[in-house]
Amino acid sequence: MDSKEFIARRIAKELKDGDVVNLGIGLPTLVANYIPEGVNVILQSENGFIGLGQAPEAGKEDKDIVNAGAQLVTIKKAGAYFDSATSFGIIRGGHVHATVLGALEVDEKGNLANHMIPGKMVPGMGGAMDLVNGAKKVIIAMIHTSKGAPKILKKCRLPLTAVGKVGLIVTEMAVIEVTPHGLVLKEIAPGISVEDVLKGTEADLIIDDELKIMEV
Amino acid sequence: MDKIKTIDEIMLHIKDGMTIMIGGFMGVGTPERIIDAIVDSGIKDLTIIANDTGFPSIGIGRLVVNKQVKKVIASHIGLNPETGHQMNSGELIVELVPQGTLAEQIRCGGAGIGGFLTQTGLGTTVEEGKQKINIKGTEYLLELALKADLALIGGSIVDKQGNVFYNASTRNFNPLMATAADVVIVGAEKIVEVGEIDPHHVMTPSIFVDYIYGGKK
């Protein structure tokens, strides 16, 4: 199993039956593939619908049904379309239980930077700022380091996407919860030591008394 | 009044320097045939308000590639490298706005509301130059309404009176923009007789629509 699948499988276990969930583009999208049987999660696509389904079968594509990454998708039977104001009313209004997003940097205060690298990558925030502010739970899905450099920092250095909104960080090495006291290391991946995690993390970590091994 | 126009008649309403809202999300729901005509016309110095700048060969992206745009107000430009390129070279002003804020600014513009309060963007570059208002201990940013000279809307089925039905995810910003501009033009995939769209299914009432172009008349 590759790292991304491992992360997606672990995050899928965080989702509860009946949750309305928005998955970001890329790694977060993979989470949809691993939602446990019997757990009915309603996926929102911020360009304007709930009930986001799988990619269409060949020959059954509909040019009018796309996700927020402009990929052709399907809508489930109980789905519904709406305009962008309603879509972001759902998001800002607290009607989304969880959002899963990628990150460039996260820090001890739950601050998130995931929308730009000045001078290098300025794609625009899209719906990320609204999602991070409005979703009840913000889960970060990311590879623990960037070419060995920590991404979980004492303080974000890149421009922030939101202040203090991250709840949980899931990487291929660890599950880390953001608490008022700081970052708590809750789980480590099989074959990974606490020292490995600390080495790949700039932020201070509080080791949970009941530290567990990540199960997927 | 006959709202259905030829493309030449439509183009009389689109001029240099205008502020234009264009519906669609990465080209889905964008009236491509009107964009075709703007590209051919050479109209310039446009300010475009839209969710994104599409792709270089799709939607609003083509206006950017053709250097007809002086300013873009959008939430995402990442799938059209040309927008970033012109922004970095100083040819194009780009104002990036959170998507939900942009949608609500346009909704306010069309609904006679001066602005709204949101927590989106607090503590980020988005708050620069904006007023903060504290309501019962919670801080918000004041975001102001947006309006435009013209809105170009993409409708899936449009009746001759201008009632619009948007199919699937083509709806996005279209019904909001249809309320927030002085002149509203719908690029229709299909034009039908009045009465053929059930009033229950009308998503943009005809009163918002000035002109219609398209269909297979």
B122 with A133: Cβ contact below 8 A: yes
Nearest to A81 among B76, B99, B169 (CB): B169
Asked if pLDDT for residue A207 goes beyond 80, the answer is yes
Q: How far apart are CA A25 and CA A47, in angstroms?
A: 13
Determine contact: B87 vs chain A, CB below 8 A: yes
Per-residue pLDDT at B215: 74
B100 part of a folded domain: yes
Q: How far apart are CA B143 and CA B124, in angstroms?
A: 14
- Give strand ranges (E) for A46-199: 49-52, 75-81, 98-101, 105-107, 112-113, 137-141, 145-146, 149-150, 152-153, 168-170, 174-179, 182-188
Determine contact: A162 vs chain B, CB below 8 A: yes
pLDDT, one tens digit for every residue, chain B (217 residues): 799 999 999 999 999 999 999 999 999 999 999 999 999 999 999 999 999 999 999 999 999 999 999 999 999 999 999 999 999 999 999 999 999 999 999 999 999 999 999 999 999 999 999 999 999 999 999 999 999 999 999 999 999 999 999 999 999 999 999 999 999 999 999 999 999 999 999 999 999 999 999 975 4
For chain A, report the end-to-end CA distance as a whole number of angstroms: 11
Give the count of domains, chain A: 1
Determine contact: A63 vs chain B, CB below 8 A: yes
Give the count of domains, chain B: 1
Which string of b and e fits B126-161 if b means at least 16 CB within 10 Å? beeeeeeeeeeeeebbebebbbbbbbbbbbbbbbbb
**pLDDT tens-digit readout, A129-183:** 999 999 999 999 999 999 999 999 999 999 999 999 999 999 999 999 999 999 9
Chain B neighbors of A48, CB-CB under 8 A: 25, 169, 171-172
Nearest to A123 among B25, B77, B102 (CB): B77
Chain A neighbors of B201, CB-CB under 8 A: none
B1 part of a folded domain: no
Distance of CA A185 to the CA centre of its chain: 18
B99 with A84: Cβ contact below 8 A: yes
Tokens representing residue B17 in the block: 């320097």
**pLDDT tens-digit readout, A83-114:** 999 999 999 999 999 999 999 999 999 999 99
- Domain of A133? 3-213
**pLDDT tens-digit readout, B135-165:** 999 999 999 999 999 999 999 999 999 999 9
Q: How far apart are CA B99 and CA B71, in angstroms?
A: 17
Residue A146: CATH number of its domain: 3.40.1080.10
Nearest to B26 among A66, A91, A128 (CB): A66
Nearest to A70 among B79, B100, B125 (CB): B79
In this structure, the strands spanning B211-214 and B164-165 are unpaired
- Helices A84-92 and B99-111 cross at an angle (nearest 10°) of 120
Chain A neighbors of B75, CB-CB under 8 A: 124-127
Per-residue pLDDT at B1: 77
- Could you say which of A46, A105, A108, A172 is catalytic? A46
In this structure, the strands spanning A182-188 and B181-192 are unpaired
Q: Which residue of A has its CA nearest to B118?
A: A92
Chain A residues 168-207 with a CB less than 8 Å from chain B: none
Q: How far apart are CA A19 and CA A39, in angstroms?
A: 9
Chain B residues 38-67 with a CB less than 8 Å from chain A: 51-52, 55
Instruction: Please determine, for the modelled complex, whether the ipTM score is greater than 0.90.
Output: yes
B169 with A83: Cβ contact below 8 A: no
Which residues are CB-neighbours of A185 under 8 A, at least 6 positions away? Answer: A174, A175, A176, A194, A197, A205, A206, A207, A208, A211
Among B28, B82, B99, most A C-beta atoms within 10 A, so best to mutate, is B99
Chain A residues 122-151 with a CB less than 8 Å from chain B: 122-130, 133-134
Tokens representing residue A186 in the block: 């809750």
Place of tokens 């801080």: B139
Per DSSP, A31 falls in state G
Phi, psi of A165, rounded to the nearest 5 degrees: -110, -15
HEC secondary structure over B146-183 = CCEEEEEEEEEEEECCCCEECCHHHCCCHHHHCCCEEE
Asked if pLDDT for residue A56 goes beyond 90, the answer is yes
A129 with B87: Cβ contact below 8 A: no
- Domain of B77? 7-214
Q: Is A46 a catalytic residue?
A: yes
Place of tokens 């975001």: B143
Chain A neighbors of B180, CB-CB under 8 A: none
Residue B75: CATH number of its domain: 3.40.1080.10
Q: Which residue of A has its CA nearest to B26?
A: A70
Nearest residue to B184 via CA among B23, B2, B8: B23
Determine contact: A72 vs chain B, CB below 8 A: no
Nearest residue to B123 via CA among A136, A159, A106, A168: A159
Nearest to B120 among A81, A122, A133 (CB): A133
B207 part of a folded domain: yes
A83 with B174: Cβ contact below 8 A: yes
Average pLDDT estimate for A194-208: 98
